[in-house]
Amino acid sequence: MTIVFLDAYTINPGDLTWEALERFGTFRSYDRTTPEQVLERAADADVLIVNKTRLTTEHFARLPKLRILLMASAGYDNVDVTAARSHGIPVCNAAGYGNASVAQAAIAHLLNITNQVGEYARRNREGFWAESPDFCACESTLIELTGKRVAIVGYGHIGATLATLLRPFGVKLFAVTSKAQKDLPEDIRKISLEEAFNSCDIVSLNCALTPQNQGMIDGRLLKVGTLKPGLILINTARGALVNEADVAEALHEGRLGAYATDVLSQEPPPADHPLFTAPRCYITPHNAWATREARIRIIHILAECLEAFLAGKPKNVVN
């Protein structure tokens, strides 16, 4: 059996081992694969693994040897899963690998905004505190989380993990979700997206990207009268959930309190992306998921999926 990983570098830049996958047969990995290289590199693959490499109907039609596609991620919006199904190829994802890591990153972004840790640490290297006439130096308003209203958009595994991390701060929790109220924890109230932006202090995006919710955070939600003044928006899900131009405008005009995101609609982004120059905007380079622990978990989940498939009981099938 030949197993080919087309874009392995972000999962394993050299600090991990592939042993969990190598035991199934011949394993071959590439750091990165361009669209023009996909068919050549995947031609002999029985098992194909991708993270962000795009796979279309044409690819599945021209890979007759392929038996299964493994996603080294929870998301799979870069793959035409319907086309894969039509060619009899199950697509299995690494669901659950990053629940703790991504939720932790959302908390890190939130605390960076409320306490300005990164900003003050940077400024102190430039003499800010040393030049202060007082024992403390503070030029921005710091925010206490106790009693704040937090809406989690998408109450799946990551959203539930985030709620667990938030509870010790004494916040009031809400969820924008398709789940019924009876299926939510007792301390979480279901609300609409519009109500979240109108009444909450913090909104965290933790939902999958679909054609239905693409660009759902836009000028309609970010206008005066609809948006609660000072609202903090956090996105550790997908960049395309928001209209980035509208978010940048809301930040420049002071309608939005802050935007913290680990994701953008184009990755890597252009150097002139409008959010790079927006005030109170905090951007990390899509690395919320990339703790060593989470990357190890991905490899083992992929091995488990492959083992289950070979036993005739495929798991984590998304198509």
Whether residues 42 and 178 fall in one domain: no
Which pLDDT value is given to residue 75?
Answer: 85
224 secondary structure, DSSP code = B
Distance between CA atoms of residues 72 and 257, nearest Å: 35
Whether residues 154 and 215 fall in one domain: yes
Whether residues 25 and 109 fall in one domain: no
Question: How many domains in the chain?
Answer: 2
Q: Return the structure tokens found at 17.
A: 């081992």
Q: Are 188 and 242 in contact (CB under 8 A)?
A: no
Which pLDDT value is given to residue 20?
Answer: 97
Whether residues 119 and 75 fall in one domain: no
CA dihedral 60, 61, 67, 73 (to 10 degrees): 0
Residues of the chain below pLDDT 70: none
Distance between CA atoms of residues 150 and 109, nearest Å: 14
Whether residues 156 and 18 fall in one domain: no
* Domain annotation covers residue 122: yes
Which residue among the candidates 194, 267, 293, 300 is catalytic per the annotation? 267
SS3 70: strand
Distance between CA atoms of residues 294 and 48, nearest Å: 20
Whether residues 85 and 200 fall in one domain: no
* Domain annotation covers residue 316: no
* Domain annotation covers residue 317: no
Whether 267 is a known active-site residue: answer yes
* Domain annotation covers residue 318: no
Edge-to-edge strands, sheet with 2-5: 26-29, 2-5, 47-50, 68-71, 91-92
Which pLDDT value is given to residue 271?
Answer: 96
Which pLDDT value is given to residue 208?
Answer: 87
* CATH number of residue 62's parent domain: 3.40.50.720
Whether residues 52 and 107 fall in one domain: no
Which residue among the candidates 149, 255, 286, 295 is catalytic per the annotation? 286
Whether residues 106 and 92 fall in one domain: no
Which residue among the candidates 109, 238, 255, 297 is catalytic per the annotation? 238
Q: What is the pTM of this model?
A: 0.91
Domain that holds residue 39: 2-97+292-310
Distance between CA atoms of residues 262 and 264, nearest Å: 7
Distance between CA atoms of residues 101 and 294, nearest Å: 7
Whether residues 226 and 91 fall in one domain: no
Whether 238 is a known active-site residue: answer yes
Which pLDDT value is given to residue 44?
Answer: 96
Whether residue 268 has a cis bond before it, omega within 30° of 0: yes
- pLDDT tens for each residue of 203-249: 999 998 888 999 999 999 999 989 999 999 999 999 999 999 999 99
Whether residues 171 and 303 fall in one domain: no
Distance between CA atoms of residues 161 and 296, nearest Å: 19
Whether residues 260 and 304 fall in one domain: no
Whether residues 113 and 254 fall in one domain: yes
* Domain annotation covers residue 150: yes
